[in-house]
Amino acid sequence: MDLGVLLPSLIPSLQSVYVLVSYFVYLAVAGELLPGKVIRGVVLSDGSQLRYRCNGLFALTLLVAILGISAKLGIVSPLVVADRGLELLSATFIFCVLVTLVLYISGRSSSDKTSSLKPHVSGNLVHDWWFGIQLNPQFLSIDLKFFFVRAGMMGWLLINLSILAKSVQDDSLSQSMILYQIFCALYILDYFVHEEYMTSTWDIIAERLGFMLVFGDLLWIPFTFSIQGWWLLHNKVQLTVPAIVANCFVFLIGYMVFRGANKQKHIFKKNPKTPIWGKPPVVVGGKLLASGYWGIARHCNYLGDLMLALSFSLPCGISSPVPYFYPIYLLILLIWRERRDEVRCAEKYKEIWAEYLRLVPYRILPYVY
């Protein structure tokens, strides 16, 4: 790519800053005002529990409706994101740096003793800024961690919809683009239907809010998970019927494993006696589920997610590695994360975890890994 063209398009215009700020303001207001199920988070080390209002599906549907009507009335261009992708990316990056510097400064000066706000300062500025100082910092009573991940997931859908509008406008809408759009839209909508499950994930319960997480949520998720869409705007792919059918199967099986495993764990945490696949659950030490998907591999949910990621890239064919960025990245991330989670669980559950390892020897893919 020509650097003379690339560099100027990375400089955020006032309009891209306006788009970003309006988006965050909408999410903050909608998150506070729209009705939704209030979920108690996991019990933190000091016995406290945070509350999360899971109204993401409502907020997203309303936002898409508002944008759709505004586009019809000519108030907003549906191409605003697709035409300003790089600018929005750099504006988001600058925002991530600024907001995490503020988090670093406010975290350091906090004297709060609760588990969610207690500062963890190593003294190494880069380390503390990167990994964060507080577990669940808030701004105007908004839980920032929950807010940023929501913004990232919705942002991914909005980028995709703008790419879709661009391909319709360019008269280049293809089967591949339709498949990619449908799979991602179903995945994102499903995420918000099950938003409450998010409250017990590793990011929410164990990771402090620093640059790594803010950047991951706000920039990495929406801008890199949509690479396939950007790529399809400029590349033509001819898919055969068997390839389309196989692609749909990878998506459906991936979805079944991903959602099924996450659901089983969530239900088990709420009521450890709930039957799994119609049978009483196999439980290790009263705490760990060792049947259903959790009896096949210790992280079947990662396997399902990897299959889904692959299904988002397969519509692009195999002529280029570029659209496979997301599944390759996810493979590396989930292997790394699974290793860190194992260390955490081994420390937390001790001999119960050792017994679970004996019962379920595979990490992610049975008989392979």
Stretch near ligand NDP under the rule CB under 6 A, chosen from 5-13, 20-28, 157-165, 338-346: 338-346
DSSP output for 149-182? HHHHHHHHHHHHHHHHHHHHHTT---HHHHHHHH
Q: At what angle do helices 56-72 and 14-33 cross, to 10 degrees?
A: 130
CB of 363 to ligand NDP, least distance (A): 11
**Are 256 and 322 a contacting pair, CB within 8 Å?**
no
CA Rg, the chain, in Å?
Answer: 21
Are β-strands 288-289 and 37-40 bridged in parallel, bridged antiparallel, or unpaired? unpaired
The mark string for 295-334 relative to ligand NDP (x by CB under 6 A, - otherwise) is ----x-xx--x------------------------x--x-
Stretch near ligand NDP under the rule CB under 6 A, chosen from 102-110, 237-245, 315-323, 343-351: 343-351
User: Is residue 348 part of the contact set for ligand NDP (CB under 6 A)?
Assistant: yes
Stretch near ligand NDP under the rule CB under 6 A, chosen from 157-165, 172-180, 337-345, 361-369: 337-345
Sign (positive or negative) of CA dihedral 154, 158, 164, 167: negative
Stretch near ligand NDP under the rule CB under 6 A, chosen from 119-127, 138-146, 240-248, 339-347: 339-347
CB of 159 to ligand NDP, least distance (A): 15
User: Is residue 345 part of the contact set for ligand NDP (CB under 6 A)?
Assistant: yes
The mark string for 141-180 relative to ligand NDP (x by CB under 6 A, - otherwise) is ----------------------------------------
CA 289/CA 200 separation, integer angstroms: 15
CA atoms within 13 A on the CB side of 2: 4
CA-to-CA separations, 20 to 78, 89, 96, 150, 155, in angstroms, rounded: 15, 10, 12, 14, 10
Which of 83, 190 has the CB closer to ligand NDP?
A: 190
Pull the structure tokens for residue 339.
């290793």
User: Is residue 363 part of the contact set for ligand NDP (CB under 6 A)?
Assistant: no
DSSP output for 259-285? HHHHHHHHHHHH-TTS-BTTBPPPEET
User: Is residue 37 part of the contact set for ligand NDP (CB under 6 A)?
Assistant: no
**Which of 289, 307, 310, 364 touches ligand NDP (CB under 6 A)?**
289
CA 284/CA 280 separation, integer angstroms: 13
User: Is residue 369 part of the contact set for ligand NDP (CB under 6 A)?
Assistant: no
138 three-class SS: strand
User: Is residue 288 part of the contact set for ligand NDP (CB under 6 A)?
Assistant: yes
Element of type H or E holding 191: helix 175-193
The mark string for 181-210 relative to ligand NDP (x by CB under 6 A, - otherwise) is --------------------xx--------
User: Is residue 344 part of the contact set for ligand NDP (CB under 6 A)?
Assistant: yes
CB of 74 to ligand NDP, least distance (A): 36
Query: How many positions of this chain bind ligand NDP (CB under 6 A)?
Result: 21
**Which of 156, 191, 258, 293 touches ligand NDP (CB under 6 A)?**
258
CA 115/CA 136 separation, integer angstroms: 9
Contact positions vs ligand NDP (CB under 6 A): 42, 201-202, 258, 262, 265, 268, 288-289, 294, 299, 301-302, 305, 330, 333, 337, 341, 344-345, 348
